[in-house]
A and B are shown apart, each in its own frame.
Chain A
Amino acid sequence: MKVPLKWLKDYVDTDISPEELAEKLTLAGLEVSAIQVIGGNWENIVVGQIAAVNPHPNADRLRLATVDTGKGQQTVVCGAPNLVVGDKIAFASAGAKLIDGHTGKAEELKPAKIRGVASEGMVCSEKELGLSENHEGILVLPEEFQVGKHLSDYLGDAIFDIDITPNRADCLSVMGIAREVAALTAKPFRMPDLSYPESSKSVESYAAVEIKAPDLCPRYCATVIDGIVIGPSPGWMQKRLAACGARPINNIVDVTNYVMLEFGQPLHAFDCQQIRGNKIIVRRAAAGEAMYTLDEQERKFDSDILLIADAERPIAVAGIMGGLSSEVRDYTTSILLESANFSQAAIHRGSQNLKLSSEASVRFEKGLNPGLAMMALKRATQLIAQLGGGKVAGGIIDVYPARTAKKPLSINGHNVRRLLGIDLELDQIQRCLELLGLSCRKGDSNNVLVGDPWWRNDINCTADLVEEVARVTGYDNIPETMLSSSLPSGAGSLIVSFRQEISSFMVACGFQEIITYPLTSPEIMQKLSSSPGTAQPEMLKIANPMSRDLEYLRTSLRMGVLSVLSRNQRSRENNIRLFEIAKVFLPRPQDLPLENEILCGLVDTVAPETYWQSKPAPVDFYFVKGMVETLLARFGIKADYLYGHDVTLSPAGSADVVVDSVKIGVIGEVHPAVLMRFDIAEPAFLFELDVDKLLTLASQPLIYKTISKYPGTTRDIAMLLDTGVTYQKIVDIVKGFSLVSDMQLFDLYVGEQIPEGKKSLAFRLTYQSADQTLKDEEVDKVQKRIIERLSKELGAVLRS
C-alpha cells in the first residue's frame, strides 16, 4: 500500500520525520519497505512567476523568460512552448539538483551561456523535478502558490510503501494508516465530514436492492446521484490517485477509487440508465452465464461466482470487477453508487476461479467490516455531489441481512499480565485502546468493555485486544524473561538421536550426507530395475505436480543417491561415498502414507586416492559389508547375510541383511545395467537399511557379559573346501562349540596351488572358558571334534 504523508496529515497531525514514522509503523506491524521522498533535494527551487517573455536574439526555438523569484527578477533561457506571463512556475537557481530531461540523470544546475545569452536558472518541467516523465513543457503551478516560497513546501511529500499483513485489510487505506499513526504518536485522529445535501426524491424511487445470496453478501448499501456532469476530477485528487498508483479516469470513477484508498472500502458506480428494471439483485451466477467485464474480456461464470445483476442480466462481478454494459460513460447523468460487503471466501474463490484480481477483490478477500460500507458510501456520495454536480436522492438503501449486535469484548489487567508479562493499570489499557479509536467503557468487574470498531475486522477476542495494547505500548516495553515453568518429562522423539548416531557413524566412515527431493517419476523409478517390465511399487501421486519429474512421492531413496553419484562423477570427484537418511512414502488406503525412514549409502571406486606409501584397501562388496556389520554391531545387532533377489543389485554380489528372519536391508554391487542407465562408472556398491526397524532392534536391552579371568588359547586351522561351500556354513558349525570365543578368517585362496573347484581357508580359533584356564588336552579335544564335523558335514580336508 502506497501512502503519501501529506494525505495522512488530513487526518492526523504529525511532525516527526518520515524515517521516524516509518520505524514506528514497522515496529507496530506495518512494515514500511520503502520511503519515496518527493522534493527531498529541491534546494534552490522556489515558486516563481513569469513576468515577461521575450524572443532569444540568436535562436528561433528558444525564448527569454523573466521570472519574479520573490527576491528580485532573473532572466533565463527557456525552450518550453507553454510560457505564459503571469503563470506560477517552479524556478531553479544555480546549485539546484535536477533530472536532465534527455539523459534522465540527476545533475547540478550550473550557470551557462546558451546561444550567447547568460542563463543562471531554469524554469522546470515535471520530469526535471522528478515528479513524472512529462517533459513536454514547464510545470504550471496553481495560482494560490506564493512566489518565493520553497517548492517543497507545496509539492514535497514522502510516500510510504507499506506491506500490509493479511489481517489488516483496514490498513489498505490512508485512513487506516492514519489511525495507526495517531495511536503510535498519541495524536488525535480527525474523521472527515460525511454530510451532504439530499433532494426530496427518495432513493427508493430510483432503484431497489435484493440480496438472494445473504451468505455471500452480508450488506449492500447504495445511493443514487442524479444530474451529474462527467468530467475530469480536480488536480489534487488526480495527484493523490497517481501517488498511490491509480490512474485518473473521470470525476465519478476517481471518487470511487479515492474513497477506496481513503477508507479501504471498494465502491462501484453504475450508470443508472443501464440498470434494467430499476433493480439490483445480488445472486449466484447461473451455470454458463457470461458477461463482458470492464477490461473488455468476456467472462463465463459457474455457480460459485457472486454477481450483481439487474432484472435481466449480470452487470458486475461482485467485489471483483464491474461490467462493461453498466459502466459510467461520458454521457452518464445518473449513477447508482454501490458500497457493499461481500464474504471474503466468496471473493477469494471467485477471484481464483476467474483468475482475475483487482484492488477491490484484494480488499474483500482479506475481510472487511460491514460497518465500513455505510461510512465510505456517505463520503463518496458527498464527494460526487461536490465534484460532479447533481443531486443526491434522499436516503440510503441499506440491505443488511447479517446485521448483528456484536457483544462488546472485555479486557482487564489480568488478561494483559497473563499474555504479555507486564502490569498495566486499567486506565492505561483503556488509553491504549482509545488511541486506536476503539470505543471503551469501564465494565462492572474492573474491566474495560470495547465496542466493535466499524472499520476493522480483526478484533474478535480478548487476545486481539491484548495485542492492540501491546502494539500501542510498544513491543520494546515487554521485558525479557526466561521460561520458569516446569520441564516436560520424557526425552522427545527417539528416532532423532538414533538418526544422529547413525549419521555420525557414516560421517566417520568417510561418507558425505546428501539430501534429495522426495518427488520422482515412474520413469526414474523404472531405471532402478535391471530387468525392464518389473512391477512397480504403488506410489502416491501429486494432484498438481510442478513437472513430470516431480509427480510421485518416492518409495525408495536409490534414485536420489544414484543421480547424485552420477552428477558428481561428471564433475570429476574421486572416491565418492554418499549417504542419505530420509523418508520414503508407502501409500495406505484411507490414510496418510506410511513414512518409513531409510538409510541408503553408495560408494564408487573411481580413481582411488594415490598415496606415496601404500595403496589403500580396495572398495568392494566386503568394504560395504564391513561397514554395515560395524554399524549394526554398534547397536548390538548381529545380522545374517543371505542371497537375495534385489532388482537394482547384481546377482553376483548382493545380499539381504536379515535379523531374526526379518529383512532389514540389502547390500551389494549395483547391477551394471542400472549403472549404465544412470551413467555411472562400474562398479559401485550400495546398501540400504530400514532405520525404523533398526531402531526397534537397537532398543532391545543389552546385558553385560562377564570378562573371563582365564587366558584364552589360539589354534589355527587351514582346510580345503569346495568353492560352493559358504563361510557361513563353517561359522554355523563352529558356533556350536561353546569353548570357542572367537573365530577370525585370515586367509582365503583359490588358484594354482590347489585343485580346481576347491578353495583354501585358514582361520584362527580362540578358546576360552569363563571358569578355568583350559588345558592343552581339552582344547585339542574340542578342535579335533570341530575338524571332524567340518570334514563330515562340509567335506573339508585339513591342510597340514
Chain B
Amino acid sequence: MLDQVEEVASQANAELQKIASLDELEGWRVRYLGRKSKLINILRSLGDVPIEERRTLGARANQVKVGLESRFTQKKEQIELLKNQSLELEKIDVTLPGQPYQVGRLHLTTRTIKEICDIFISLGFQIVEGPEVEWEHYNFEALNMPAEHPARDGFATLWADYKTETGARPMLMRTHTSPVQIRTMEKAKPPIRVIAPGRVYRYEATDATHEWMFSQVEGLAVDKNITMADLKGTLFEFARRLFGQDRKCRFRVDYFPFVEPGCEIAIDCFVCGGKGCRLCGSSGWIEILGAGMVHPEVLRGCGIDPEEYSGFAFGMGVERIPILRYGIDDIRLFYNNDLRFLKQF
C-alpha cells in the first residue's frame, strides 16, 4: 500500500509539471485528489489496514495529500499569473467607438405630461381624457361661461363648421381641458380624483410666445369635506415635487368663472431666486397654475349637490414648464418637430 502511495506521489508530481491550463489542472485534481482518486481511497480505507501498518501508511498518505494540495494551489496561482500576463499583451483599444444604438425619445411635451401625471398618480389621482372636438356646452356653458360672458374673451375659439337645425354653431375645438371636469362629474360619483392631460386649441397667430395648439393638465377632486386647505396642500406639494423641495410657493387670489374661491399658484423664480429677472418678468414669481374650489353652480349642473360635496379644480399649461426650465426661447419649436430640437431632451 505504501508503494502505491509513493507511486501516486511521483506520478502526480510528474504530470503536474506538464500542466499549462486551468482545465488540465482541474482534471489533475480530480484524478489525484478527487473523491474517487486512489490516494483518497487509501485514506478512506485505513480502518481495514492492520494496526501496525496503519500508523506509517496513514502518516505518509496524509503527508502526500497535503503536499499535492499545496502544489495544486501553487500551480493554480502560477497559471493564473501567466494567463494574466498574456491577457495584458492582448489589450484591445478601448478608445475605439462603441456600437451605436439608435435610441428614440418621447416628445418633450409627452415627457412633461408624464412627469406631471406621475406626481398626481402618487397622490391618488386617476388619469382621464376627453374629446378634443367639443360641444360649446362643455367648453363654456357648463363651466359657468354662458354666451357673452366676459371671460370668454380670453378664449379665442376655433369653431367647427357644423350647424344645428336652429342655425346655432355649437361645436368647437376645445380651448382648455376643463370640459373634462364636467364630463367626469356627469359620469362618476364622488369620490372623484382625476387629472386630464390633453391638447387644446386657440385661434391665435403664432410667434415666439404664442402657439395655436398647446397642452394642459386639468385636475379635479370632489368629495365630502374637501377644502381650500386641501387644494393648497396638494398643489404646493405638487409644485415642490416638480420644481424642487426648496421652492417657495405663492398663493394668491385669481378668478376663473368655474371656481369660487379662485386662486393662482406661483413659485419663486428658480433663476433669480425671487429677486426679479427676465424670466419672471422682474416679479420674482413664476405663475404655474390656476385653481379654485369648484363653483356650486358647476357642481349642481353636473348633478352633484353642493351642500353635500365640495371639491377643487386646477389647470396648468404644459409647454411653459420646459420653456422655463430649459430656457427655450420659441414655443413654435415644440410642434415644428425639428429633430435637432427634439433630440436635446
Contacts and interface: CB of A to CB of B under 8 A. Distances in A.
Interface of A: 26-29, 31, 165-168, 344-345, 348-349, 365-367, 417-422, 461-464, 466-467, 470-471, 475-476, 478-488, 490-493, 495-496, 500, 503, 506-518, 540-546, 550, 553, 564, 567-568, 571, 573, 575-579, 583, 585, 592-593, 595, 609, 611-613
Given A482-B230, A488-B124, A577-B102, 9 more contacts: A344-B150, A349-B148, A475-B232, A479-B229, A488-B191, A512-B104, A518-B199, A546-B158, A612-B97
Contacts of A365: 150, 153
Interface residues of B, number: 91
A420 B228 CA distance: 5
Contacts of B107: 512-515
A568 B339 contact: yes
Contact of A29 (B96, B129, B153, B252): B252
Contacts of A553: 133, 160
13 contacts: A27-B252, A31-B252, A166-B153, A167-B257, A367-B150, A467-B253, A470-B228, A475-B263, A485-B193, A542-B158, A544-B203, A567-B338, A612-B97
A518 B223 contact: no
B100 interface: yes
Contact of A542 (B123, B150, B159): B159
Interface stretch (B24-32, B41-49, B78-86, B233-241): B233-241
A609 B102 contact: yes
A348 B233 contact: no
Interface string B154-173: 10001111100000010101
Nearest to A587: B162
Q: Which 7 A-B pairs have the closest CB atoms?
A: A492-B126, A421-B229, A29-B253, A421-B227, A510-B102, A467-B261, A345-B148
A515 to B, nearest CB: 5
Contacts of A27: 250, 252-253
Contacts, number: 256
B289 interface: no
Most chain B CB within a 10 A radius of its CB, from A165, A571, A585:
A165
Contacts of B100: 609, 611
Given A493-B127, A544-B158, A508 B104 contact: yes
Interface string B323-341: 0000000000011111110
A419 B334 contact: no
A596 to B, nearest CB: 11
Nearest to B226: A485
Contacts of B229: 420-422, 478-481
A544 to B, nearest CB: 6
A600 to B, nearest CB: 13
B227 to A, nearest CB: 3
Contacts of A514: 107, 337, 342
B19 to A, nearest CB: 36
A87 to B, nearest CB: 40
A632 B3 CA distance: 73
Contacts of B176: none
Contacts of A26: 252
A27 B252 CA distance: 4
A493 B310 CA distance: 23
Most chain B CB within a 10 A radius of its CB, from A366, A462, A475, A485:
A485
A516 B337 contact: yes
Most chain A CB within a 10 A radius of its CB, from B127, B191, B339, B342:
B339
B104 to A, nearest CB: 4
A509 B104 CA distance: 7
A166 B338 CA distance: 39
A578 B192 CA distance: 37
Nearest to A346: B148
Given A481-B227, A500-B114, A512-B339, A595 B133 contact: yes
Nearest to A349: B148
